[in-house]
Amino acid sequence: MTDKLIIFDTTLRDGEQSPGASMTKDEKIRIAKALEKLGVDVIEAGFPVASQGDFEAVQAVANTIKESTVCGLARALDKDIDRAAEALKGANSSRIHTFIATSAIHMEHKLRMSPQQVVEQAVKAVKRARQYTDNVEFSAEDAGRSDIDFLCRIIEAAIDAGANTINIPDTVGYTLPNHFGQLIYKLRERIPNSDKAIFSVHCHNDLGLAVANSLSAVMNGARQVECTINGLGERAGNAALEEIVMGVGTRKDAFDCETDLNTTEILNCSRLVSNITGFPVQPNKAIVGANAFAHESGIHQDGVLKHRETYEIMRAEDVGWGANKMVLGKHSGRNAFRTHLEGLGIELNSEEELNRAFRRFKDLADKKHEIYDEDLQALVTDTLATESEQIKLVALKVCSEIGEKPHAHITLNVKGVEKTVASEGSGPVDATFKAIETLVKSDCNLLLYSVNNITDGSDAQGDVSVRLDQNGYVVNGQGADTDIVIASAKAYLNALNKLLTPALRKHPQTAAI
């Protein structure tokens, strides 16, 4: 018999803390449904007290998801715990995840509390959370830099108070695999009531060791790993779910536990998260990168052809590669289109949304001979993003020729009024962005401009990501089209529309207690 390793996905909470990665309620629901289809055990949907938008998103996910446990984050404060409980009321299975910092540097400089006060606050928080649910997780923030004697003390008290999951976060990505594994082992050995709780880990990737630290912890008795799709997260990110799951599944000789995820949905989740957040997946990214199962070397190719396992330690099909081609074409009907979307886990909220997406599908089918599942993900994201935009692209004409300065002529619908302007630039994209700014006057800085092809071929859609900063508020924008300049305009406008309706959020790691 092997133990079950619980997969706790925090893409919707910690992943969203990546600069510009904020998601709308509908986007969170789309990702949550994909995570449920993947078979994730716990979905941390957000930080309900942070904003009304975050509260509503957690509430919507809780009311939608049926198979996975839905979790809300709360500081060790009554108001946070009460707000999380309210957001989670509609969940089939809920969890409140409360935390307080335990390292000396955090207690002294951030919390300005004594160790005894921190213990008392933690116990109080766990007991309050237990009034709402019997599934309570306690996290010792910055545990990787905390004194082990104090950790033993506060964890024992938290378990006595009713916490049945104890999370040991490497909040700043400071620890090393052997040290972190030993920390988990020692805590489980030294804490008298450790057998009454599942030990969990949450590792950040500042030194590139998040997955290694997590797996070391699993080898030393941790039975929950907190992770994100594509390793998304603040700073250098979190432990990547796909690497944790396939690491444990591939090296059964090294692990005495297993997950029960449907791993064939990993690639679909990866693409969806990348598409919604605008964070592209690097080609050489393990498991989900475009080159993850590609073999360039002749020696490697020869070996794989003779016997796959000479150079492949897992099957590409097991994580979702190899079945991405769409069987629909420009003659396909709405019902076939809807059915295929449902097969991808995409459920639109109304007939009007379906009609808009279907019209875009028909337009794309006229431009592109072969349409792939990735195209559909981008198409739906683009359709939903433009539904409530205050600034919409009406027309765009650009001219770029050798020896002449590129210029763009653009028409926008700004809050119901059409406006037209022309502008020059160093290239067609630059000219387009300057034309948009002439009309909108957002006074924002362009931090990032990135273009990636969604599928192979010269007729592929370009997926453009932009990152804008307006007085310290950072947003990402995305746009997809077979025309790169049009995709760029869509991405820029998508970001501007987010700036017009900002969902300001508190940062749970830095918010003052």
Token code pair at residue 513: 């207690």
Q: What is the pLDDT of residue 329?
A: 64
Q: Which amino acid is at 292?
A: A
Under 8 Å between Cβ of 7 and 225: yes
Q: Which amino acid is at 312?
A: E
Distance from C-alpha of 278 to C-alpha of 280, rounded to nearest angstrom: 6
Residues 6 or more apart whose CB falls under 8 angstroms from that of 35 comprise: 9, 11, 43, 68, 229, 269
Q: What is the pLDDT of residue 503?
A: 53
Token code pair at residue 314: 């897992």
Q: List per-residue pLDDT tens for the chain, 513 residues long.
A: 579 999 999 999 999 888 778 888 888 999 999 999 999 999 999 999 998 989 999 999 999 999 999 999 999 999 999 999 999 999 999 999 999 999 999 999 999 999 999 999 999 999 999 999 999 999 999 999 999 999 999 999 999 999 999 999 999 999 999 999 999 999 999 999 999 999 999 999 999 999 999 999 999 999 999 999 999 999 999 999 999 999 999 999 999 999 999 999 999 899 899 988 888 888 899 999 888 877 444 444 445 445 455 556 788 888 888 744 545 666 778 887 888 788 777 778 788 888 888 888 888 888 876 777 778 888 887 787 776 688 999 999 999 999 999 999 999 999 889 999 999 999 999 999 999 999 999 989 999 999 988 777 777 888 899 999 998 888 888 898 999 999 999 999 999 998 887 554 444 444 433
Distance from C-alpha of 512 to C-alpha of 302, rounded to nearest angstrom: 58
Q: What is the pLDDT of residue 312?
A: 66
Under 8 Å between Cβ of 438 and 421: yes
Q: What is the pLDDT of residue 474?
A: 86
Q: What is the pLDDT of residue 292?
A: 83
Count of CB atoms situated within 10 Å of the CB of 308: 13
Distance from C-alpha of 449 to C-alpha of 502, rounded to nearest angstrom: 21
Q: What is the pLDDT of residue 511?
A: 42
Distance from C-alpha of 259 to C-alpha of 263, rounded to nearest angstrom: 10
Strand partners, 409: 397, 422
